[in-house]
Amino acid sequence: MQPRETTAPLPLPTAGRNRRAAAALWGSGQGLRGARPRGQGAGPRGVAAESAPPEGRERQRRPNSRAHVSAGSLHKRPRLVSGAGDIKLTKDGNVLLREMQIQHPTASLIAKVATAQDDITGDGTTSNVLIIGELLKQADLYISEGLHPRIIAEGFEAAKIKALEVLEKVKVGKEMKREILLDVARTSLRTKVRADLADVLTKAVVDSVLAIRRPGYPIDLFMIEIMEMKHKSETDTKLIRGLVLDHGARHPDMKKRVEDAFILTCNVSLEYEKTEVNSGFFYKTAEEKEKLVKAERKFIEDRVQKIIDLKDKVCDKSSKGFVVINQKGIDPFSLDTLAKHGIVALRRAKRRNMERLSLACGGIAVNSLEDLSVDCLGHAGLVYEHTLGEEKFTFIEDCINPRSVTLLVKGPNKHTLTQTKDALRDGLRAIKNAIEDGLEQPTLGQSKSEALNSVWVSHMGGKNPGCVVPGAGAVEVAIAEALIKYKRKIKGGARLGVQAFADALLIIPKVLAQNSGYDLQETLVKVQAEHVESKQLVGVDLNTGEPMVAEDARVWDNYCVKKQLLHSCTAIATNLLLVDEIMRAGMSSLKG
């Protein structure tokens, strides 16, 4: 093992050759450090705590390094309060980065890469920042001793290729049953929200993905609507197997609760509006105008009558309900007529909900009322309205085999809602990744979705082979170990680059240990030893600080997140190193 960096507390940038990069990094590091999520598994995954934190985690960390003094202890979570007093509570690195105003160009570059990582995979923001920072720091050690950045970059590149090979080897292909998906989601969510909330969300997230998944098709997360409701507490967040619309019927006589209802989704204007473009009425007298207006109005009335006819036909004096959900407007006159016939009508449904509606309740969304028939209608067991202040919510539940569902986020205030919502999004992505990582990688020239489609259709046939990698820093330890062996095959200075890369990756288990309140060196050494001995993938157990086999502890990370991390971190660190060299050359030539 390479003992040097494990004993050296984060060195302050010295007057090395690569001063600018180091200073820049340090600048960014400071900025990030201040707001870096401190807590169980900041970024990289630790074992998800099943119970209340044991006393061990509360003990004070040894203040053995300058940089660590400022670090909070376990379970600290940054709360951001803006200048106007707006609160944001988060432990999600992505959210933090988006909130910070980063002025330094290097720091802002790193932040952009990190948020891009989140856009692509939905996770890994903090790891990204940590690894890039550590790569530069390790590189700085060698550069200050005279190694050329270009050679380090070569080493990084070789190391990256090897690391990806290792990652390929350690990934675990499994059939994605509910249990393992729960594990994946839990690992992801526990790092973002508190434990009891995470458990609530885990179940909701997994069940929602399972509900909308159709064999033979890629998972479309857009079919899961996330709706927020400022009401009760965040643990009341739940999965609705149907749809929740954030508006209600606009007529006092319409029923607030309808059972066993037909649902008509349409995109037809039911409001009287002056016809478009330059075609004002031409009239001579007031009566004539009246007549024209009436004729226009009649046109709308006919449309309303068609809906009423259909209702009379299908309901036929039975107690069945009838709900119209229209994407266009419905004016008060039409609402009144519909209400008189016992029809509940919602207007101005969101465009994105139209597709979901027909997926959830069945039926087809109609664009004209000309050929309305019973086949167009969907069905829901229960439709009811819930009013909160000035806001209304319409729940459409008890659908038969819904292929679009809603995650209803609840919480007492806005920042809780946002926090829960962000966590849900990440959880959904983690599950989607886990399921879809099992597919073969797209070949060149073929877009990912195309590849997915063809693979799903041809090979899967209803099975769900997914793929995950062990979490809790196990992968990083394994890769570092492999790289140390590998570096002997590399000749010249690039070997040092490989060494630096291996050392940099170990920041993940180190931060895990540190954030849980353990001695990072001690923990790391133990984990590494255990890994070499057992030949298994060993990570950090955040409850005990002892090594544990990640697979047995059911801590899973996404394969694609790790892969993306290796790619983007190497690319950015390399670029920063080289840019720095060019800048320096320019500076000296200016002076001379």
Partner 1 sequence: MAGGAREVLTLQLGHFAGFVGAHWWNQQDAALDRSGDAKEPPGELCPDVLFRTGRTLHGQETYTPRLILMDLKGSLSSLREEGGPYRDRQLDAAIAWQGKLTTHKEELDPKNPYLQDLLSAEGVLSSDGVWRVKSIPKGKGPPPVTAAKPVIPLEGGVRVWSDFLRVHLHPRSICMIHKYNHEGEAGRLEAFGQGESVLKEPGYLEMLEDRLHFYVEECDYLQGFQILCDLHDGFSGVGAKAAELLQDEYSGRGIMTWGLLPAPYNLGEPQKNIYRLLNTTFGLVHLAAHSSLVCPLSLGGSLGLRPERPVSFPHLRYDATLPFHCSAILATALDTLTAPYRLHCAPVSMAHLADMLSCAGKKVVTAGASIPFPLGPGQSLPDTLMQFGGATPWTPLSACGDPCGTRCFAQSVVLRGVDRACHTSQLPPGTPLPSPLHACTTGEDVLAQYLELQEPRALSSSHLLRSPCSVAPPYPHLFSSCSQQAVDSIPVFGALCSSSSLHRTLAGLARELTKLDLRRWASFMDAGVELDDVQELLQDLHSLAQCYQEGDGLTD
Could you list the residues that contact partner 1 (CB under 8 A)?
A: 34-35, 38-39, 53, 72-87, 89, 98-99, 101-105, 108, 193-195, 197, 230, 233-234, 246-247, 250, 273-274, 276-278, 280, 329, 331-332, 347-348, 350-352, 388-390, 411-416, 419-420
Q: How far apart are CA 519 and CA 70, in angstroms?
A: 16
Of 476, 503, 469, nearest in space to 156 by CA:
503
CA distances from 157 to 398, 487, 502, 568 (A): 54, 12, 12, 11
- The residue among 87 and 400 lying less far from partner 1, judged by its C-beta, is 87
Give the nearest distance from C-beta 539 to partner 1 in angstroms. 22
- The residue among 216 and 329 lying less far from partner 1, judged by its C-beta, is 329
Give the nearest distance from C-beta 367 to partner 1 in angstroms. 14
Give the nearest distance from C-beta 240 to partner 1 in angstroms. 18
Lateral strand order in the sheet of 257-266: 243-245, 391-397, 378-388, 257-266, 321-326, 344-346
Q: How far apart are CA 354 and CA 341, in angstroms?
A: 24
Of 191, 121, 115, nearest in space to 558 by CA:
121
- The residue among 179 and 336 lying less far from partner 1, judged by its C-beta, is 336
Give the nearest distance from C-beta 95 to partner 1 in angstroms. 10
- The residue among 21 and 96 lying less far from partner 1, judged by its C-beta, is 96
Of 96, 170, 151, 158, nearest in space to 129 by CA:
96
- The residue among 420 and 433 lying less far from partner 1, judged by its C-beta, is 420
Q: How far apart are CA 352 and CA 37, in angstroms?
A: 34
Give the nearest distance from C-beta 530 to partner 1 in angstroms. 28
Give the nearest distance from C-beta 312 to partner 1 in angstroms. 27
- In this structure, the strands spanning 344-346 and 321-326 are parallel
- Unique residue bearing structure tokens 């829901």: 380
- The residue among 234 and 541 lying less far from partner 1, judged by its C-beta, is 234
Give the nearest distance from C-beta 388 to partner 1 in angstroms. 7
Give the nearest distance from C-beta 491 to partner 1 in angstroms. 41
- The residue among 112 and 459 lying less far from partner 1, judged by its C-beta, is 112
Contact assessment for residue 163 and residue 501, using Cβ atoms and an 8 Å cutoff: yes
What are the two backbone dihedrals, phi and then psi, of residue 580, each rounded to the nearest 5 degrees?
A: -60, -40
- The residue among 138 and 208 lying less far from partner 1, judged by its C-beta, is 208
Handedness of CA 325, 411, 203, 127 (dihedral sign): positive
Tokens of 368: 């004209």
- The residue among 104 and 403 lying less far from partner 1, judged by its C-beta, is 104
CB atoms within 10 A of CB 554: 17
Which SS3 state, helix, strand or coil, does residue 58 take?
helix
Which SS3 state, helix, strand or coil, does residue 321 take?
strand
- The residue among 260 and 331 lying less far from partner 1, judged by its C-beta, is 331
Tokens of 208: 């929602």
Residues 6 or more apart whose Cβ sits within 8 Å of residue 220: 212
Give the nearest distance from C-beta 98 to partner 1 in angstroms. 5
Strand ranges in 428-493 using DSSP code E only, listed in sequence order: 465-470
Give the nearest distance from C-beta 156 to partner 1 in angstroms. 27
DSSP annotation of 457 reads I
The residue count of the chain comes to: 592
